[in-house]
Structure 1
Amino acid sequence: MAFSLRELRELEQRRISDEQTARRDVEAAKVAAAEAAEQRKLDTAATQLRAEREERYRIEAARAEAARQERLALEAHETAERARHQAMLDAERMREELDLRRIEASKKRPKWMVVVTALASVATVVLVWFTIQAMNQSDRSAEATRVAEAKSEAAIQARKDSDGELAGLQAQVAQLDGKVSRAVADMVAAEGDVARRKAKRALDEANEQKAATQRAIAKATAERDRVIRNTKVLISKDCAENALSKACLSSK
């Protein structure tokens, strides 16, 4: 089928226009890929900086909390010991008083013996009650320490899980960067409209996957930050005194 000169000119102009459009698409894809890679580097650096800053804050807060918990436990223990000691003193004093009253009662009428016995029974009950209360207070202090330690371990495990998830997502982004680079190279090497459209679809798909993964990273990072902010972490006495101790390093 013969073409007129005008039709041939239009075909040539269309071909040139398509090639120019394809070149612009390739250049735009290269620029977008470079910008995305640079932005990912900036985001990664910012994330690491924020994580380091929050980790330092968490450790300082944990040390302060550990010191407070230790102080409270010590105060509770001292209070319980004082109460127990006082109960023992009261019991000893009451026993001596009862011995004196028994001696006096033995010299008087028999009804005083009944009164002394009743007082001794009441005093025994009161002293037993005070002793039990002192022991219960010590038990409550120990239980509070155990609960705080359990919460601390749960917070550390949650942070480790979040770190693992973020590491996996960042590895996916690195793989997708390679996929984007290959798609850009395919667009550059593509010949013909069909091949260029196929390469562009592959590039768009890779960019969308990368964007979705970066959104997942942002979400996981926000969740990790929320857990760190809202969880009080209790560290051991050894870790509070020496950040390089085995107990402290094993919790990181």
Structure 2
Amino acid sequence: MSEFVTEKIESGVQIIYLDRVDKKNAITLDMYQALTNALHNAEKNAEVKVTLVYGLGGDFSSGNDINEFVQIAQTPEKMEAIMAFLQALTAYKKPLIAGVEGRAVGVGATMLLHCDLVLASRNARLQFPFVQLGLVPEAASSHLLPQLVGHQKAFEILVLGEFVDAEMAYEIGLVNHLCEEGEAFKVALFYADKVAALPVEAVALSKDLLKHRGQDDVQMALMREGRIFKDRLKSKEAHKAFTTFLSRNK
């Protein structure tokens, strides 16, 4: 695992913690590798019946580490670690649950589209700020989000990149259930335990039936987004947006 990604397995539930609290769980390349390994290992581990992802410290994830993205723009082959995680995420066969507090930004938001259950506190806020950074949507969000909310709403969310509060996320189907602030992990674990108690093969087959029809389209969207995203990292617009973002943070 990684210093900032930890896991434990209890009663059939694999719990993956994002634990880079001082950076609001911004995801580095090492963290992507750790997440990929955790999902691959869980698929081979019969003890794991369901996976729960949770961000410690009051935020789910602030998305990609922008400092690393500046480096990736110079060495695009480093994108492979990100793509490996997204492929593992989209192809994951066991139930996947997220408990969301605070901000879920960028990949922290798009990964929720691949979860089977999302439990969020009322203070949760989702944001897809790719266009603002001179980039394009990723994780097959350009395919999955319009299917969920329609083209116009997906355009608003993905292109304008404004925050989607918890109530709106619930209303448009991005979140299954809302809970009070600080309760997301407890509620997510409650649902994880419920799923883990069900017949394992029946759950896995049901998930496959639900996702099978669109799986090829998801993989095609993932690859197409990845190619364009990689090119955009080298664009003048992205370079300007990254520079502005980093100078503002300083």
Bigger fraction of residues in strand: 2
Bigger fraction of residues in helix: 1
Higher radius of gyration, 1 or 2: 1
Per the shorter chain, which TM-score range? under 0.3
Higher relative contact order (CA 8 A, sep 6+): 1
